[in-house]
Amino acid sequence: MSGDLQAVWLTALLAATTTLLLVPIASPLAWWLARSASPFRSFVEAVVAMPLVLPPTVLGFYLLIMLNPESVVGGLWVELTGDSLTFSFSGLVIASIIYSLPFMVQPLQAAFRAVPESVLEAAATLGASPRDRWLNVVLPMAKRGYLTGCVLTFAHTVGEFGVVLMMGGNIPGETRVLSIAIYEHVETLNYDAAHMLALGLLCFSFLSLWLVYRYAGHRFEVVRG
């Protein structure tokens, strides 16, 4: 059981780290996507949305190739830290950021798009600096978008399986997240333990979605994945 508690803790840690890192990464990206008239916008939008339709095994396979110790990125990481990026917690964080990117970007983009240009102009005429406008006008108006984005990112990362299976291995305390722990319990005929974790995840998923529908209304756009 202590192994399962460790998996719960590790999963929460992975999901929290991913969510925290995605907020600063996704915010400027979503803002640009919501406001830009650039011809590249649809291109970037498509790239960001890819993890929604791509099989996780494809993502996992490319990450395995890109991050393994003989590759450029993976080799550099080994030189800097002495550890391999594949089959490590750091590697999983990188994978989760890519895998959950649309779940943060899309709700934020919808929230930013709903901020009327006129309100921002009014704030500007009243002497608000761009920073001021962002912190005191945009942010409060996009609060629900952030809530939706954070809950969905967290929940989606908790539910990650294919990517971890491909490039995470099954290392306790490092990459053995909940979904992998369930898989191993089933593989080793330990159905009681599998039931307990599976039921826990089922309740958690329902609660997160309920939270989103209850408090963020029906304004969020991500439904697939």
Partner 1 sequence: MSTARLLHVVRCPPVFALVRGLILTALFCMGCSAIAAEARIAVAANFRETAMAIAAQLEAKSPHRYQVIVGSTGKLASQIINGAPFDVFMAADRRRPQQLVERGLALAASEQIYAVGELGLWWPNGPGTPALDALATLEPRSVCVANPAFAPYGEAAWELLQRAGLDADWLQSIVRVDNVNLVAGLIAQGQARAGFVARSSLIAGKRQGTVAAADGDVLWFAEQAPVDQAMVLLTRAETNVAAQHWVQQMQTPPIRELIQRDGYRVSVKQD
* Residues binding partner 1 (CB under 8 A): 6, 9-10, 13, 64, 68-70, 74, 78, 83-89, 167, 169-174, 184, 186-191
In the complex, least distance from residue 112 CB atom to partner 1, rounded to whole angstroms = 32
What one-character-per-residue DSSP string does 88-120 give?
A: SHHHHHHHHHHHHHHHHHHHHHHHHHTS-HHHH
- Smallest CA-to-CA distance from 216 within 143, 123, 137 is with 143
Considering the complex, state which of residue 159 and residue 168 has its C-beta at the smaller distance from partner 1: 168
The amino acid sitting at 20 is: L
In the complex, least distance from residue 152 CB atom to partner 1, rounded to whole angstroms = 24
Considering the complex, state which of residue 93 and residue 139 has its C-beta at the smaller distance from partner 1: 93
Considering the complex, state which of residue 117 and residue 192 has its C-beta at the smaller distance from partner 1: 192
In the complex, least distance from residue 101 CB atom to partner 1, rounded to whole angstroms = 22
In the complex, least distance from residue 1 CB atom to partner 1, rounded to whole angstroms = 14
Provide the 3-class DSSP secondary structure of residue 1: coil
d(CA 66, CA 63): 5
For residue 222, give both structure tokens.
């991500």
Considering the complex, state which of residue 57 and residue 84 has its C-beta at the smaller distance from partner 1: 84
Considering the complex, state which of residue 38 and residue 188 has its C-beta at the smaller distance from partner 1: 188
Considering the complex, state which of residue 22 and residue 123 has its C-beta at the smaller distance from partner 1: 22
- Residue indicated by tokens 């319990």: 185
Residue 54, exposed/middle/buried by CB under 10 A (0-12, 13-18, 19+)? Answer: middle
In the complex, least distance from residue 146 CB atom to partner 1, rounded to whole angstroms = 24
Which residues are within 8 A (CB) of 43 and not within 5 positions of it... i.e. 6 or more apart?
none
- Residue indicated by tokens 């102009």: 121
In the complex, least distance from residue 162 CB atom to partner 1, rounded to whole angstroms = 14
